[in-house]
Amino acid sequence: MFLYLEVLDASFSFDGVIGAFAITNDIVLMALGLGIGAMYVRSLTVYLVRQGTLDDYVYLEHGAHYAIGALAVILLVTIQYEIHEIITGLVGVALIGWSFFSSVRRNRALAAAGGDGDQEKAEVSSGV
């Protein structure tokens, strides 16, 4: 679901605005479409937060931060060199995918150890 959210977010980003100009020049239709898309992405985000997805997959947030940092570095590198869009996209997907699979591996290790991570979550939140 998180990766699906990232794909949706990318489709409604600035590139989506440029694509909208290819479909229509009517600013009202573009604003309406982008508004509906933004509300859908927001609703999906709220749903994932309420379901505790980020609590279950603890490394997803970190992976998203690393992906944003990597994209910032790529943006700076593109000042001097041209980097293909596929490389840029794969870097983001790889970092988020890595964080997702790291979270799954962590959850399996906790389950195999006989704990569900509540003790670890309590220690982290209390600062121990």
Residues 73-97 pLDDT 10s: 988 998 899 988 888 888 888 998 9
Global confidence as pTM: 0.57
C-alpha span between 65 and 90 (Å, rounded): 15
What percentage of the chain has pLDDT greater than the value 70? 68
pLDDT in tens, 27-59: 777 777 777 777 776 777 778 778 877 778 888
pLDDT band at 127 (very low <50, low <70, confident <90, very high): very low
C-alpha span between 41 and 47 (Å, rounded): 10
pLDDT above 70 for 3: no
Query: Residues with Cβ < 8 Å from 57, sequence gap 6 or more?
Result: 2, 99, 100, 103, 104, 107
Which pLDDT value is given to residue 58?
A: 84
C-alpha span between 38 and 44 (Å, rounded): 10
Which pLDDT value is given to residue 39?
A: 76
Q: Which residue has the tokens 């573009």?
A: 30
pLDDT band at 15 (very low <50, low <70, confident <90, very high): low
Query: Residues with Cβ < 8 Å from 90, sequence gap 6 or more?
Result: none
C-alpha span between 32 and 70 (Å, rounded): 32
Half-sphere exposure of 11 (CA within 13 A, CB side): 11
